[in-house]
Amino acid sequence: MSQIIVEAQRRSSRGKNSNRRLRVAGRIPAVMYGPGKEPLPVAVDPERVTGILYSESGHNTIFTVSVDGKEHANAMVKDYQLDPVKGNLIHADFLEIAIDQLLELTVDIEVVGEAQGVKLDGGIMDLVTRALEVECLPADIPESIKVDVTALKINDYIRVKDIQIDPKVKILTDPEVVVVTIVPPIKEEVPVEAPVETAEPEVIKKGKVAEEGEAEEPAKPAAKPPKPETK
């Protein structure tokens, strides 16, 4: 079990103004939820919680919450809120858990190996399902569910029922769901060039040109009348 400890202080006041002052002081509001218990409002260090969220096990990390210097409970991050502009953590919800009770949670898929269909045939790996719903004890929560794709060829796939996993972890996702498949490479279509229209050469009609361009014969002058005979 992880020895991560999150120090928390009870909050007596709530509301937007109180939360704003809390954030200015370098803390953020958080709430502890537990089965059969009233929600407990606390204040925590945002960097501590952010470090948990970005760890290998992420939101599935189990840590201990210490309230006002006293160990309170084991917990997980149930939900969190980020500033829409700055992206920093501004609120968190913690779920109190019992070590001996089964949990239902989401675990990410981790692809292992390089598929033959990708390496040899230029195929494309399509990770259809990126996480699975599982049930297990807190101590058995896997950081990820590994899926070996090395043997996959073009059009091969792996379903949930094909995944080998620790028997302590029960997969709740539908066994027929496709997790990963190798699709054929995308063929680039060669653009077909449109035929270039060329102007038809002007046909010279010799006969007509000659007829049109032929000079007309000059008209013959009229014959002069004969001179009268002189006696």
Q: Which residues of the chain have pLDDT under 70?
A: 1-2, 189-192, 194-231
Secondary element (H or E) of residue 80: strand 70-82
**What tokens appear for 63 in the block?**
């840590």
Is residue 214 assigned to a domain?
no
pLDDT of residue 231: 45
State the Cα–Cα distance between residues 9 and 117, nearest whole angstrom.
55
pLDDT at position 14: 75
pLDDT for 186: 83
* 213 located within any domain: no
Domain count of the fold of the chain = 2
State the pLDDT at residue 215. 46
| Confidence (pLDDT) at 209 | 46
20 in a domain, yes or no?
A: yes
What CATH code is carried by the domain that includes residue 82?
A: 2.40.240.10
Predicted confidence at residue 72, as pLDDT, reads: 81
The answer to whether residue 195 sits within a structural domain is no
H/E run at residue 50: helix 46-53
Please, how many CA atoms are within 13 Å of residue 218, restricted to the half-sphere of its CB?
A: 3
Domain endpoint, select from 50, 70, 97: 97
pLDDT of residue 15: 80
Structural domain harbouring 166 = 104-183
Both 161 and 89 in one domain: the answer is no
Residues 60 and 24 grouped into a single domain: yes
Whole-angstrom distance, CA of residue 75 vs CA of residue 70 = 15
